[in-house]
Structure 1
Amino acid sequence: MYNTEEYEYEAILQRMLDRVPDDIDKRPGSIIYDALAPAAAELTQAYIDLSAGDDLYNVDTATDEYLTRGTAQWGVNRKQATFSVRKGTFFDSTGAGIDVAIGSRFFIEDINYTVTERISQGVFKLTSETSGVMGNKPFGALLPMEYINDLATAMLSDILIPGEDEETDDQLRERFFVEINEKPFGGNVADYRQMIRALDGVGAVRITPVWQGGGSVKATIMATGHVPPSAALIEQLQEQVDPVLFAGQGLGLAPIGHTVTLTGVDWITINITTTLALDDDTTIGQVQQDVEEVINAYLLALRQSWEVDAPLVIRVAPLESRILTVSGVVDVNSTQLNGSATNITLTVDQVPQKGTVTLNE
């Protein structure tokens, strides 16, 4: 609003000088010029500050706390960082599972975990003490913070409920415009999408209405990080949305009379074979890792589009185009996906992951 030419220093100063009678010296260096110039500079800065203020109070340009407050006025709140819930197994010196006390603390790679719930003999849920995706990363041997009788080995394994970082400005702004424009109401598809997408651990969701007749709804989930959800996450979400023992009674987030079934996407492994022409100074071994990285990036991009574009199609042409960007690769041909030279179309409930990558020369 205030970033047009009329609010620039030269324009403001000129308007001020125009108000001074012409029989007074208004040239640069004159008394009146030197008196008005600092005032024009201050007014220019004031308009700059006003323009910045306008940006902070509009959702499309606001940042940080101003964006948080702006979207909250419409009922869209910034997602806060959450804590990863992991599977931990504990063994004695004979290899038998042993129980540890709830509240016991362990660490791995400078991240601490607290035992929060027993699953079975020697198997427990551990919650990261560090919020965000960092709690999803380590796997392997845990070390106790304090001595535990009979404990010989402790292992950190499955991600039961993934931790999430705080929503970024761009993510919040994108979600705000989607939710404002979708017009959710009374259990329609948009209402379910927003309701479930806002739950911890959910990265994306697809809603299938009238799944098994009137009043039935199927929600297919992808977890944070664009990966299939764990059984523990699906169970937790089911209890939040429509508890199994009280299905359709409105004791969860779902409206009364709606029976909601939550399920997760499944991996489908894509094994890739292709033939490369390389420049004279490059070997297959030198490009193997880079080729696998561009394949991973392609499959991740597909998973990121799953909520809108499912069923996904793994196409040979864009895959070969990405491989051609790898330094040292001159040409790509004879690419096969799971033994076939054709594209692979997945079901709505499937997402791709990289399997073996065989490169021929």
Structure 2
Amino acid sequence: MYENQTFDTILQRMLERIPDTVDKREGSVIFDALAPAAVELTQMYFELSTILSLSFGETTSGIYLDLRAADRGLTRKAASPAQRLGVFYGVNDTPLDVPIGSRYGISGVNYAAVSRISPGNFALVAETSGTVGNLHFGALLPIDYIPGLSRAEIADIRIPGTDTETDEALRERYLTKVREPSTSGNAAHYRQWALEVPGVGAAKVIPLWDGPGTVKVTIVDIERHPATPALLAEVVDYIAEVSPIGADVTVVSAEGFPININATVTLATGYTLPNVQAAFKQAVDDYMKATAFELTYVSYARIGTLLLGTTGVIDYSSLTVNGGTVNVAIQDDYVPMTGTLVLGV
């Protein structure tokens, strides 16, 4: 809004207010007296422009986005710890029950046993919040002495850990709440409730899906992958607490729909196929994540654009997506996921 209020513009406007009978040339007393004031006014207009952008949901950020969201009863999601499956063995690889609260570590991340699932299988919770708790698999080292323990492993992710909610994610929730008011258990309300559970990345709601009073909520995790049973159970319990009495709510996880890509590429000098393929896969993963619950198809043309935009790719040919050269339809309750990705030269 204030882009035109530059130093030269402001200084010229100030000089025009001085009679022409006074020396206003650069280096004159008048010029040198007004120039510092023009600099300060330029800075003021710059800060006014910044303040203006922080006043609107689509352009605000940081603490100011938190304040804007708070007006609608929303708070930024804090980082949450990962919940993992720990498997413990005694002599002869027999399942071993370990004490609740016992602690184990792997690659600098510590976990504590919080509940018994079955003999030798325990739910572990990371002591460090964030996605770092999702990263490691394999042998665990006990921090506490565990009698009879011969081997411990960390396996499945039961509920993925999440980092502090980004500005983009909070802004999306804020704008959704503003543009799609959630009241009296409408579809927007169920979507809001699902997204309030840490670990849920997106949700789709189908009202009256199986007759009057029924609601179906389909969720995915923060990576837009199918939700784990543990995360699904948390969403079921949370919605049961907050939903209207009498509503017949079904909460399910979306299923993954693999997208297989094959193509022949022409590489630029100095680039290797493994590096190009890794960069292309990351671009495809990001596209799949962005389209989950947003589009009903995966665009063949978009895949080609991503491939051509991959650093090191000059051109491509023989591109197929799930064996064809057309858009791939994604049915309800499915989300696209990168399947096999094969590039040749």
Could you state the TM-score of these two structures normalised by the residue count of structure 1? 0.82
Q: Is the 8 A contact 1:292 1:357 kept in 2?
A: no
Paired residue type of 1:124 = F
Paired residue type of 1:54 = L
Q: 2:333 aligns with which of 342, 349, 360?
A: 349
Aligned to 2:74: 76
* Cα distance change of structure 1 residues 298 and 12 upon mapping to structure 2, 3 Å threshold: closer
Aligned partners of 1:324, 1:295: CA distance in 2, in Å? 13
Paired residue type of 1:266 = E
* Cα distance change of structure 1 residues 347 and 18 upon mapping to structure 2, 3 Å threshold: closer
Q: Is the 8 A contact 2:307 2:313 kept in 1?
A: no
Structure 2: runs of 5+ lacking an equivalent:
none
Aligned to 1:208: 206
Mapped pair 1:194 → 2:192: yes
Aligned to 2:317: 332
Report % sequence identity.
38
Aligned to 1:173: 171
1:133 CA displacement: 1.3
1:194 CA displacement: 1.7
Mapped pair 1:25 → 2:11: no
1:334 CA displacement: 7.8
Q: Secondary structure at the match of 1:94?
A: helix
Aligned partners of 1:10, 1:357: CA distance in 2, in Å? 55
* Cα distance change of structure 1 residues 50 and 328 upon mapping to structure 2, 3 Å threshold: closer
Q: Is the 8 A contact 1:226 1:300 kept in 2?
A: no
* 1:210-249 equivalent positions in 2, closer than 5 A: 210-242=208-240
> What CA RMSD, in Å, does the superposition of the two structures yield over aligned residues?
3.1
Q: Is the 8 A contact 2:194 2:200 kept in 1?
A: yes
1:319 CA displacement: 4.5
* 1:1-361 equivalent positions in 2, closer than 5 A: 1-5=1-5, 8-242=6-240, 252-270=241-259, 274=262, 276=264, 287=273, 290-291=276-277, 294=280, 297-298=283-284, 300-310=286-296, 312-313=297-298, 318-319=302-303, 322=306, 327=312, 331-333=316-318, 335=320, 337=322, 344-356=328-340
Paired residue type of 2:86 = G
Greater Cα shift, 29-38 or 118-127: 29-38
Matched length: 344
Greater Cα shift, 199-208 or 343-352: 343-352
1:223 CA displacement: 0.9
Q: Secondary structure at the match of 1:131?
A: coil
Greater Cα shift, 39-48 or 107-116: 39-48
Q: Is the 8 A contact 1:13 1:37 kept in 2?
A: yes
Q: Is the 8 A contact 2:219 2:251 kept in 1?
A: yes
Cα shift readout 1:237-268 (whole Å, capped 9, x = no counterpart): 111111xxxxxxxxx11112212111101234
Could you state the TM-score of these two structures normalised by the residue count of structure 2? 0.86
Paired residue type of 2:333 = D
Q: Is the 8 A contact 1:320 1:335 kept in 2?
A: no
Paired residue type of 1:348 = D
1:90 CA displacement: 0.8
Structure 1: runs of 5+ lacking an equivalent:
243-251
Paired residue type of 1:256 = I
Greater Cα shift, 26-35 or 140-149: 26-35
Aligned partners of 2:159, 2:112: CA distance in 1, in Å? 14
* Cα distance change of structure 1 residues 292 and 62 upon mapping to structure 2, 3 Å threshold: closer
Aligned partners of 1:43, 1:277: CA distance in 2, in Å? 55
Q: Secondary structure at the match of 1:134?
A: helix
Q: Secondary structure at the match of 2:293?
A: helix
Q: Secondary structure at the match of 2:117?
A: strand
1:320 CA displacement: 5.6
